[in-house]
A and B are shown apart, each in its own frame.
Chain A
Amino acid sequence: MINLSRRRLIVSGLAATAAASGLAAAARMAQTYGLVPPDCGGIYGLGETLTYASQRLLTRHSLAREFPRSRISPRPFPNEQAPPTEDFKRLQAGGFADWRLSVDGMVAQPTSFSIADLKSCPSRGHITELTCEEGWSYIAEWIGAPLSHVLNLVGVLPQARYVVYVSMEPDTWDSIDMADALHPQTFLCYGMNGNDLPVPHGGPLRMRLARQIGYKNIKFITHLTVTDNLKKFGKGLGSAAAEAGYAWYTGI
């Protein structure tokens, strides 16, 4: 039998109370400082939250490794893709001149950009690795307009916390927090290895996040919404991938 003396009872009671209030305070702090991912519920929520919180504390400003031009992979692998829709084929026939990226939500001036508009922004290029959650990877030069520049043009409101991005492909959308949205290696990518972004790689426009897994780098982007709350989008988990059981945060 466990010998439960009065002193022991009081000490364990105090310890349990301290631990519980410590946890509650940590949870509140985590919410305040944006350390809780939208898919924090369920049996895997603990792991998702630990990963996201520790990476936000550790890697908010860190830069993904960049490589010399000589290390660009000669044969980048474009992943499996659904056949293009009729709308996409029509836009492709017109050389994507009518492709539009609309930006709305918590912005001062909702705006629509053509690919030419984006190309007239100061361009950013970097040679980084694209990594699939399956395990394979390749290195390419990615060229585009920094998302932070586009967000400055439309005037993001101070209470904004996330940027939702939507693909032309059905049921394909995702979101990132402002730390990733304003990161210097996050851009709206329209070029690859010195040319226009090929359609199999997401051309004419793809989200490029050097510090996140391939499926977060959504292809065929047509729409951005700046928001302070992801609950309003889909099932409130922050992305279509999260609704299909794949993590929202993929810096792992």
Chain B
Amino acid sequence: MATLGSAQLPAEASVPSRASTAPVTKLAPRHSGLVRVTHWITTFCFFALLLTGIEIVISHPRFYWGETGSVLTKPLFQLPIPSSRRLVPTGYGYVLPDQNGWSRALHFEAAWIAVLTGLLYVISGLLTRHFRRNLLPSKTDFSWRALWTSFIKPFRLERPSAAEAFSYNGLQRLTYLFVIVVLFPLVIWSGLAMSLGFASAFPWSVNLLGGRQSARTIHFFVSLALVLFLFAHVAMVCLAGFWSRTGAMITGGIGTRKEHP
């Protein structure tokens, strides 16, 4: 079985090289087409939202709690960065260029695409039982021992077993569900609460969050949590094998690595 050709292939190489005469590593199905397409649209939108979000924050890097807040009131906290506005006291002797025009436009456009993509994902995830099969943790997943093992393994730089290439462990299921069910809805809600038009039609959307400035501060912290998730997500992908896992999210298939006993 272990021929010279297959031994030359790195363990992660799931995408067969056309020039190679080696026996092709069989790709087993991993992610459905809809999951892959929505994953990459969301990725694209997320980076657009993050970049433009940072640009918008730079124009007023102060955060408040409650309904109102400006440079004439005391902030809850202030980011130690320069601003793109002259009248914001930052302690820096210079002002950054104003990028808010296109940043706001791209922020809202990417938000539209992300939300519509998310709706498609959630509806199809319910209909195809994607959530139930792949993301809902089983009862045994809830043991502290199992969760702790899953948590500590990456820190010991232990690669996941071959079986884990085809399903998520309990900690992964809980994390993905938390992002899908808590963080994404909260970032959308706090974002919409800042829309004057939306808030006029649905005043509770901003009142429940404690006011307009509270909504802005919540929006900031939830975005921060999503960035943290992104770092952890990419770190785990790298640990498991960047090309194998990324390839699976592009082609839908994953190498079975059967050549290793």
- State whether B101 touches A246 (Cβ < 8 A): yes
Q: Does B30 contact A (CB under 8 A)?
A: no
For the complex, would chain B's binding face be called helix, strand, loop or mixed by DSSP majority? helix
Q: Which of B121-140 contact A (CB under 8 A)?
A: none
A140 to chain B, nearest CB (A): 10
How long is the Cα–Cα vector from A121 to B50 in the complex, in angstroms? Answer: 48
- State whether B203 touches A134 (Cβ < 8 A): no
How many residues from A make CB contacts under 8 Å with B? Answer: 42
Residues of B within 8 A of A58 (CB): 197-198, 201
- State whether A139 touches B68 (Cβ < 8 A): yes
Q: Does B206 contact A (CB under 8 A)?
A: yes
Q: Does A44 contact B (CB under 8 A)?
A: yes
Residues of B within 8 A of A51 (CB): 108, 112
Residue of B86, B102, B197, B212 near A59 (CB, 8 A) is B197
How long is the Cα–Cα vector from A136 to B72 in the complex, in angstroms? Answer: 10
Interface string of A135-153 (1 = CB under 8 A from B): 1111100000000000000
- State whether A65 touches B200 (Cβ < 8 A): yes
- State whether B198 touches A59 (Cβ < 8 A): yes
Residues of A within 8 A of B59 (CB): 133-135
CB contacts between A and B, total, < 8 Å: 125
In which size bucket is the chain B interface?
35 or more
- State whether A137 touches B68 (Cβ < 8 A): yes
Q: Does A174 contact B (CB under 8 A)?
A: no
| A72 nearest in chain B by CB position | B68
Q: Which of A113-146 contact B (CB under 8 A)?
A: 129, 131-139
A107 to chain B, nearest CB (A): 28
Residue of B86, B196, B216 near A64 (CB, 8 A) is B196
How long is the Cα–Cα vector from A75 to B57 in the complex, in angstroms? Answer: 22
Residues of B within 8 A of A251 (CB): 195-198, 200
- State whether B72 touches A246 (Cβ < 8 A): no
Residues of A within 8 A of B213 (CB): 137
Residues of A within 8 A of B111 (CB): 47
Residue of A75, A138, A139, A247 near B104 (CB, 8 A) is A247
- State whether A138 touches B70 (Cβ < 8 A): yes
B-to-A contact residues, CB < 8 Å:
56-57, 59-60, 62, 67-73, 85-87, 100-102, 104-106, 108-112, 195-201, 203, 206-207, 212-213, 216
